[in-house]
Structure 1
């Protein structure tokens, strides 16, 4: 069964919506941008989040101590590297028993390989651009990039990822939409 991560959570109402839908993962974006959250905020939100839902922290070229603080505080369980982080950093985090997601943005001229626990393919920097799924040369553990209720079944059929990652695809007027979250979580869990 394909799992699903709802990313870009920022508010108590986002957490309430996610708790009602029960996705497998919840993502908090520590990097600068529209969905940016501070650690203190994530600590509070994590306490409200259903304990069955695994929390993920998204970082872009952050210092290692910032990422470790987020894990040790209990705010997150998995570190997602969404910048230009090196394999040396991945190995260092793994040596510290951290679970790591390494993101590769397409198109890329890098050879896609990593020691991270999970490899994620995205269309860019969370800009909502859709990937040409049929052109992927490898099967990522996690697929992201403009996925919503209308194309999630096609994404799963064409790519067969272990996890679908959705953020803007469950928003209305730049806010998380509880109905869209519930619909896509239900659909993914049924596929």
Structure 2
């Protein structure tokens, strides 16, 4: 690999699991504030997350006021918008001075022009597998579709990344690939990560 990819582990909830995770060499830890998710959190457990790991709040079709409230309450460094948010909302979030990600569900029929208005409103794109449930499928999409992406915006790759395909994901040839988003394929149950499996995965790509 020519560059070090950022690693985001998303969907955390339990204090002891968070403590074990933050001992690993990761860059982002994600908390899902979407009530319909099996990894939903209403509160982040009180635990001193190291400063080098950025706390990410994941939101789906919520209001700017609610996002601002959570950012302040939990000292979030990053907001991930994972629903049908408008470019205007993305811009307002970015103007809070917080790192902003916008997720898009990808399938073979995805039209790249549909995200053109977002290019200048967020810091990063996040490409996930298309789902009616706004993520959480545990399935990967055809990564070759990313070669049609006409935008220079750096992105995180998400959706079905597992111990079996993480090397392939990490060596995907695209200078815009900024990081990998790890979630359901590294779980014992929803919101509880398998630390041994994550350790193994990190040893493959680091």
With the length of structure 2 as denominator, give the TM-score of the two structures: 0.83
* Structure 1 segment 116-155 matched on structure 2, within 5 A: 116-124=122-130, 125-136=135-146, 137-138=148-149, 141-155=155-169
SS in 2 for 1:48: coil
In 2, the alpha carbon distance for the partners of 1:158 and 1:185 equals 16
The answer on 1:112 being equivalent to 2:126 is: no
Q: Which among 180, 188, 191 is matched to residue 197 of structure 2?
A: 180
* Separation of aligned partners in 2, 1:183 and 1:122: 23
Give 5+ residue unaligned stretches, structure 1.
none
Displacement of 1:173: 4.0
Structure 1 counterpart of 2:183, from 160, 167, 184: 167
Partner of 2:32: 29
Cα shift at 1:159: 4.8
1:119 positional shift: 0.6
Aligned residue number for residue 76 of structure 1: 76
In the TM superposition, what is the alpha-carbon distance from 1:54 to its structure 2 partner?
A: 0.6
Output aligned runs, 1:19-58, within 5 Å: 19-32=22-35, 33-38=37-42, 41-42=43-44, 44-45=45-46, 47-58=47-58
Q: Distance in 2 between matches of 1:112 and 1:157?
A: 25
TM-score, scaled to structure 1 = 0.89
Deviation string 1:12-67 (CA, Å, 9 cap, x unpaired) is 122122122131100000012100001xx21x34x432222111000000111111
* Structure 1 counterpart SS, 2:26: coil
Separation in 2 of the partners of 1:101 and 1:94? 9
Secondary structure, in 3 states, of the residue corresponding to 1:73? helix
Greater percentage in helix:
1
Report whether the alignment pairs 1:93 with 2:93: yes
1:69: how far off? 1.2
- Deviation string 1:66-87 (CA, Å, 9 cap, x unpaired) is 1111211243111100000000
Look up the match of 2:61.
Answer: 61
Q: Measure how far apart 1:95 and its partner are.
A: 2.3
Can you give the 5+ residue segments of structure 2 that lack an aligned partner in the other structure? none
- Report runs of 4+ in structure 1 exceeding 6 Å deviation: none
**Structure 1 Cα separation of the partners of residues 31 and 189 of structure 2:** 19
8 Å CA contact retained: 1:103, 1:121: yes
